[in-house]
Amino acid sequence: MSPDQRLIEDAGTLGVALTVADAARLMRLLEELQRWNRTYNLTAIRDPEKMLTHHLLDSLSVQADLHGTTVADVGTGAGFPGLPLAVVNPDRRFTLIDSSGKKVRFVEHAARELGLTNVSAIHGRVEELDVTEPFDTVVARAFAALPEFVREVANLCGPETRVLAMKGKLPRAEIDALPHGWRHDHTRELTVPGLDEARCVVVLRRVI
């Protein structure tokens, strides 16, 4: 089975219907990541199969949790989960934020290469951003402990914002330590094909 076919099949088990064109764009993303990685060390994962699992499929696993039309990916790194989600959600607008200049430059390059007109990249610290209106969804993968995470993204959120924290094992202690003004909506376990590690997405809301 070709990597493209495997990607389509495994994405299907996550409830994400990839077209052949989608799969080709996502594999192109990995090719660009590998190429840049040789010079800029954007990700510690270098094996192409692991990249497919740990970057592409892991990103797509939260597709069902997205809400509304505007999505902020906080601490996006080399563009995950934002870039894969932008490929399969052309009608949503994605803002990818990171404090690393080289990673933001890669995100901008990858968005151009993939023709993603629904992606913008911001170089900066998320807690210092000035936004005119809240995002519909804020997502982050392995960004920070939940109490710190919600404090840093509070300026991006309104009462209708769905905040998605992608985690490994269920972080019960972090949920219990959420500061006043935040509530735990629910947690969904994620089963990522080929990834033999615990995964979940913790869904949070701001109470204003």
1.10.645.10, 3.40.50.150, 3.30.565.10, 3.30.450.20: which CATH number matches 3-206? Answer: 3.40.50.150
The mean per-residue pLDDT over the stretch 158-181 comes to 97
The mean per-residue pLDDT over the stretch 107-125 comes to 97
Q: Does the structure show a pLDDT above 90 at 47?
A: no
Q: For the chain, what is the mean pLDDT?
A: 95
Domain boundaries, the chain: 3-206
Distance (Å, whole) CA 112 – CA 68? 24
Q: Does the structure show a pLDDT above 80 at 19?
A: yes
pLDDT of residue 155: 96
pLDDT tens digits, 69-98: 999 999 999 999 999 999 999 999 999 999
pLDDT tens digits, 127-168: 999 899 999 999 999 888 999 999 999 999 999 999 999 999
pLDDT of residue 142: 80
Helical ranges in 41-181 per DSSP H: 48-51, 58-60, 82-88, 101-114, 146-153, 172-176
pLDDT of residue 56: 96
Buried b (16+ CB within 10 A) or exposed e, 158-179: eeebbbbbbbeeebeebbeebe
The mean per-residue pLDDT over the stretch 55-82 comes to 97
